[in-house]
Structure 1
Amino acid sequence: MTESIERTAECPVTGKPNQDWDPLSAESLFNTAEHDNEMRRTCPVAYTEQFGGFWSVFDHETITKVVRDTETFISAPSPTVPPVSSPDRPFPPLQSDPPMHRKYRSPLIPFFRGDRIASFEPRLVELTNELIDEFIDKGEVDFAKQLATPLPAKGICLLLGLPEDDWRYFHDWANRLIACAFAQDMAGVEAIFDDITAFATSWIAERRKERKDDVIDALLHTEIDGRPMTDTEIIGTFTLLFSAGHETIASAISWSLKYLADNPDIRAQLAADPTSLPAATIELIRLASPARALARTTTKPVELGGRQIGAGERIAVVFGAGSRDERVFDNPDDFDVSRDNRKHLAFGNGIHRCIGEELAKLEVRICLQEVLRRIPDFELAGEVQQTLWPTNGFATLPMAFPAN
């Protein structure tokens, strides 16, 4: 890895730096924490040729600088690497900058406050146990497919006021979006957006007939600069909510369950003391950082970490690396339930800090709580499959446990 920092000369053909790292390498995808730690220590501002070429920042200080400077580093034209949105299919408020960002985000805030999200807890506990009931007598389970995936997808249905069975649509769309973006199959991305648009257009038409106290009703009756939100803006917000609120939480749950399988002493401690689960949940989310990176685009030439970056360049802020920065956290790779986690970056930072933070913490905590209550002992029972960049979780997670 240290050789990579020597490969920084400009390529005479493209005028771009030579590649410092490869986010799609086995080391990056399958040994994520170790890889990102090494990048932070040896090449904290790095360039890769993948996905058309982009920069990445790995240290806490630079990440924080980038996400807070909304004039130099903007979220338009795309907040992701690789891009899945476009000016014609935006994802507000994530794909927006001041002053428009606040105008798009403000109508959503009341529906993501702690007291509102807490009202979902009884049903989320029921949903978790309904899912566990389906496999607890078998002594084996794929935690990723049978628990970590459906639970947050059903939770998004609660939030959006949709039938819980619609979670399968969201799961399918989110998985396909990530896979097509990963493969740089933009025709596939467009086809998925067409499916989402058809679903959402029909649903919006029905929702205009009746007022309800939920997110979609708020969007339908929000005005931006004196005009109603367009259907394109509403559908983009809907797409953002279900994709971010599904895939990232599913990754956080699957990563946490894998960590507890690998660390039975910690698992036993949490099972014996459920009161520690709220703090443990935040610590596990810090370690996982399931949304590994989001993107900004430079509006002017800038220097970061001694590297010269031109205007119009994409920069991935690698939140997981920042959340393990030893200059901010003592023994950052260790699980410490007593840690002061106020500076962790797993939910981002600045104006785009994850609006669904409270929902994520609630769903992860409830899932761990009910699994540890009903299945306190479990172990890996086969090969695992990790999720694709830029998420950090597991698509398959086979486990075995004593059957009831």
Structure 2
Amino acid sequence: MTESNVRIPDEHAQTLVDPKAYADGRIHETYAWLRANNAFGRAEPAGYEPFWVATRHADILEISRQNALFLNGDKSPTIVNQETDAKIREMTGGSPHLLRTLIHMDAPDHHKYRALTQAWFMPQNLRSMEDRIRGVAKAAVAQMAATGGQCDFVREVALHYPLRVVMEIMGVPPEDEPRMLMLTQELFGAADPELARKEEVDPGAKLTPGVITDFFEYFRKLSADRRANPTDDLSSVIANSMIDGQPISEFEAMSYYIIVATAGHDTTSSSTGGAIWGLAENPAELAKLKADPSLIAGLVDESIRWTTPVKTFMRTVAEPTQMGGRDLAAQDWLMLCYASGNRDEAVFDDPQAFRVDRKPNKHLAFGYGAHLCLGQHLAKMEMRILWEELIPRLASLELAGEPQMSQAVFVNGPKTLPIRFKMS
């Protein structure tokens, strides 16, 4: 394979690391070109370490299966430019990570830390929470109805419903939810001028030390309280966890709180917004749901596929291997493009279409293998319950303006979603 055949053209390589491209939709044009012309090529955008790019569903799945070969911990598991990487390593004494969460870990630590909370997120445990979650959903629908038929669905409903659920599970009081929402948006929206903390707007979308410090300060107090006065919430589980017979370190405990508190609601908010966006643009799909409520499960999966909130993750090659017809060297960096895999023409019929009755729907939005999303069952249950409460009452739905997506290469989704609707 010649160098020219392996290297991704600069215009597409630059799009892969441009946060604005994930907001304006250009990323999907690049993904389509790559799947058709260079599905596993090497990107060399200016200012970044070169990296391989997996855009096919099959390659993403195969890489995700092989966690001993494709690592999370050696380099940043999220895309970061060389300048930001150097700053992080300087701040941490050589580590590429400002946090050490499950997404930064490999075996054996990953399994040990995942096991600390895994039981909380299993379906049998979540079933006991269904009534509480339904109460939150009913309140969200009532709030939407009270707007009088027009609202920004993201800002008035989608951001707050999953946030309330996760904060209740963690034991964070309602009065602290605005702070958690703001910090989450500043963390994931570090490259978005409207969402980022003004002094920390970072095109590399990774260097957010002030935001992380604020998270640490909040959860340090919460953790100390839960060690002294444990309750039945998830924060108590983390605060009192043991690894290899020793208490979990403060750094890893704070990291754990952050990943649960942020990923636990932000991605669900994005898919929830994506569902309403898709239905507003496709009234026939809403009619299908109203005629057959059993399709709500399909709406949940299709909105997750169509939105794919986690757009990319990075992996580092442990030893020389082959993938996608290419020869990879040890310590090569590679990007998994989930939103591309979820629109792969080889797997999905008419992948650009939004279909609530899509079957099968083998999307990759939750990842695969050892790093399969810990909260996938909670996310799907939250969305199912909300749609069970809202869809039967939703008589009509349309866009009332141009929706906007957030600017981010790692996690992004609808930022504003103006709608008009009628409810029964």
Tell me, yes or no, if the aligned pair for 2:190 and 2:203 is still in contact at 8 Å. yes
Q: CA deviation at 1:271?
A: 2.1
Q: Find the counterpart in structure 2 of residue 52 from structure 1.
A: 48
- How many residues in Structure 1 have an aligned counterpart in Structure 2? 394
Tell me, yes or no, if the aligned pair for 1:180 and 1:186 is still in contact at 8 Å. yes
Among candidates 67, 70, 87, match of residue 67 of structure 2: 70
Task: Label 1:394 to 1:336 Cα distance change in 2 as closer, same or farther (>3 A).
Answer: closer
Task: Label 1:336 to 1:279 Cα distance change in 2 as closer, same or farther (>3 A).
Answer: closer
Task: Label 1:99 to 1:187 Cα distance change in 2 as closer, same or farther (>3 A).
Answer: closer
Amino acid corresponding to residue 31 of structure 2 in structure 1: D
Distance between the aligned counterparts of 1:394 and 1:30, measured in 2?
11
Q: CA deviation at 1:19?
A: 6.0
Identify unmatched segments of 5+ residues in structure 2. 193-201
Among candidates 170, 182, 201, match of residue 180 of structure 2: 170
Distance between the aligned counterparts of 1:50 and 1:178, measured in 2?
23
Among candidates 123, 140, 143, match of residue 132 of structure 2: 123
Distance between the aligned counterparts of 1:248 and 1:313, measured in 2?
28
Q: Find the counterpart in structure 1 of residue 163 from structure 2.
A: 153
Greater CA drift, 45-54 or 221-230:
45-54
Q: CA deviation at 1:209?
A: 1.4
Q: CA deviation at 1:151?
A: 0.9
Deviations 1:61-108 (A, max 9, x none): 211222222232111132222389874643322210011111010111
Deviations 1:206-259 (A, max 9, x none): 111122233222223322222110111111011111111121111111111100
Identify unmatched segments of 5+ residues in structure 1. 11-15
Greater CA drift, 179-188 or 160-169:
179-188
Task: Label 1:25 to 1:78 Cα distance change in 2 as closer, same or farther (>3 A).
Answer: closer
Q: Find the counterpart in structure 1 of residue 306 from structure 2.
A: 287
Distance between the aligned counterparts of 2:327 and 2:34, measured in 1?
18
Distance between the aligned counterparts of 1:227 and 1:89, measured in 2?
23
TM-score w.r.t. structure 2 length? Answer: 0.84
Among candidates 86, 96, 106, match of residue 97 of structure 1: 106
TM-score w.r.t. structure 1 length? Answer: 0.88
Greater CA drift, 18-27 or 142-151:
18-27
Amino acid corresponding to residue 401 of structure 2 in structure 1: G
Q: Find the counterpart in structure 2 of residue 43 from structure 1.
A: 38
Q: Give the share of equivalent positions with the same residue, in percent.
A: 27
Amino acid corresponding to residue 347 of structure 1 in structure 2: F
Q: Does 1:355 align with 2:374?
A: yes
Among candidates 97, 109, 115, match of residue 106 of structure 1: 115
Task: Label 1:336 to 1:238 Cα distance change in 2 as closer, same or farther (>3 A).
Answer: same
Task: Label 1:166 to 1:55 Cα distance change in 2 as closer, same or farther (>3 A).
Answer: farther
Among candidates 344, 352, 361, match of residue 363 of structure 2: 344
Tell me, yes or no, if the aligned pair for 1:89 and 1:236 is still in contact at 8 Å. no
Tell me, yes or no, if the aligned pair for 2:223 and 2:236 is still in contact at 8 Å. no
SS at match of 1:355: coil
Amino acid corresponding to residue 66 of structure 1 in structure 2: I
Greater CA drift, 113-122 or 327-336:
327-336
- Which structure 2 residues correspond to residues 329-340 of structure 1 after superposition, within 5 A? 329-334=348-353, 335=355, 337=357, 339-340=359-360
Distance between the aligned counterparts of 1:144 and 1:75, measured in 2?
32
Distance between the aligned counterparts of 1:186 and 1:288, measured in 2?
20
Tell me, yes or no, if the aligned pair for 2:39 and 2:56 is still in contact at 8 Å. yes
Amino acid corresponding to residue 49 of structure 1 in structure 2: P
Q: Find the counterpart in structure 2 of residue 319 from structure 1.
A: 338
SS at match of 1:300: coil
